[in-house]
Amino acid sequence: MEQMPPPDLRIHRPPQMLRELAVERLRGAIIAGRFPSGARLVERALCDQLGVSRSVVREAIRILETEGLVESLPNRGPVVARLDWGQARQIYDIRRLLEGSAAAGCAAVADGAVKAELAAALAAMRGGSDAVFAATTRFYEVIFRSAGQDIAWEIVQRLNGRISRLRALTLAATDRAVPGHERMARIAAAIAANDPDAARAAVEAHLDEAAGIARRMLEGV
């Protein structure tokens, strides 16, 4: 006999650990530019601002360090990492390889469900910049996961933290939302047509454009 599934009545106490929340807060603040490049991250001050203890702050900083958002100088403590065009170029190059490969792999195996999810993410991109960000993330996650490349997806997400700082400025300066949507629609179309080469080319075109914008912003300064 099939039992009724046990109803999930749990209080849903945040299963997220305090340190994860701290990481997200800090990462968000850095990406949003509330901590400028080179700013010192004073532990005790962060404890007050986040309302957590030093252990949590320190572990969070270690994690952000591995993401390249923070770097610790000996005897000086952590500071917000600087981002120059040399680094951004490398990151775009790596994303070009990884996302291109994932899009090709996804196009090779995409079935109806994958295509529907991509279309849904694309449709969800109407709205505020928060919705755009979430939908974009979802879009790429579907591509990577369906291509069976979870580890590459993790790497790309970590890399994105570093260059997401550019997005804040990009969005503030130019309204790139519409062309971005267009580019992603082209990627989705190539995947819908199960055309790996076209998918890779679309991804690379998208990234080349983004890299160009980043370059103008970072080199112009």
Partner DNA sequence: GCAGTTAACTTGGTATACCATCATACGGAA
Partner DNA sequence: TTCCGTATGATGGTATACCAAGTTAACTGC
- Read off the DSSP letter of residue 54: H
102 near DNA (CB under 7 A)? no
12 near DNA (CB under 7 A)? no
90 near DNA (CB under 7 A)? no
Q: In this chain, which stretch among 38-46, 96-104, 128-136, 182-190 interacts with DNA, using CB under 7 A?
A: 38-46
Q: Which does residue 148 touch among a second copy, DNA, none (CB within 5 to 8 A, set by kind)?
A: a second copy
Give me the least distance between CB of 196 and DNA, in Å please. 41
Q: Which does residue 149 touch among DNA, a second copy, none (CB within 5 to 8 A, set by kind)?
A: a second copy
By the 8 A CB rule, do 68 and 82 touch?
no
Q: Which two tokens stand for residue 102?
A: 């994932």
* Residue span 50-69 as binding mask against DNA, x where in contact by CB under 7 A, dash where not: -xxxxxx-x-----------
Long-range contacts of 165-173 (CB under 8 A, 24+ apart): 165/30, 165/31, 165/33, 165/83, 166/83, 166/88, 166/213, 166/214, 166/217, 166/218, 167/31, 167/133, 168/31, 168/32, 168/33, 169/33, 169/217, 170/213, 170/214, 170/217, 171/129, 173/217
Q: Which does residue 49 touch among DNA, a second copy, none (CB within 5 to 8 A, set by kind)?
A: none
Q: Which residues in this chain contact DNA in the complex, by CB under 7 A?
A: 13, 17-19, 40-45, 51-56, 58, 72, 74-78
